[in-house]
Amino acid sequence: MITAIVLIKTSVDRIPEIAEQIAALESVSEVFSVTGTYDLIAMVRVSQHEDLAEVIPGRISRIPGVEGTDTHVAFRTYSQHDLEAAFSIGLDS
């Protein structure tokens, strides 16, 4: 699974509507409204790198009100669950 973090600049007056449209896309798992330079962050998960082109420029960027995107592809995912497994030595507490 390939994960991309997509930073999205939108028309400020349409953030909720745009966020809902992005969240409805099949490969988008979460959309966050955020402070800072960008208005939204979308987590995109696809099975192949080629699929990113279909989702990001092919769908997200074409939603009316999306002004631009900046995409970051994740190399590795770290989560609390992963950290607990990494530090566990199999002893019951």
Q: How confident is the prediction along the chain (93 residues), in pLDDT tens digits per residue?
A: 999 999 999 999 999 999 999 999 999 999 999 999 999 999 999 999 999 999 999 999 999 999 999 999 999 877 766 655 555 555 555
Residues 6+ apart with CB under 8 A from 12: 39
Q: Who contacts 91 (Cβ-Cβ below 8 Å, separation ≥6)?
A: none
pLDDT of residue 76: 83
pLDDT confidence of residue 58:
96
- Give a yes or no: residue 73 inside a domain: yes
Are 61 and 69 in contact by the 8 Å Cβ rule? The answer is yes
| Confidence (pLDDT) at 56 | 97
For residue 24, give its domain range: 2-87
Cα–Cα distance between 85 and 10 in angstroms, integer?
Answer: 39
92 falls within a domain: no
**CATH number of the domain that residue 26 is part of:** 3.30.70.920
Is residue 49 situated within a structural domain? yes
Number of domains the chain is built from = 1
pTM of structure:
0.83
Residue 93 is assigned to a structural domain of this protein: no
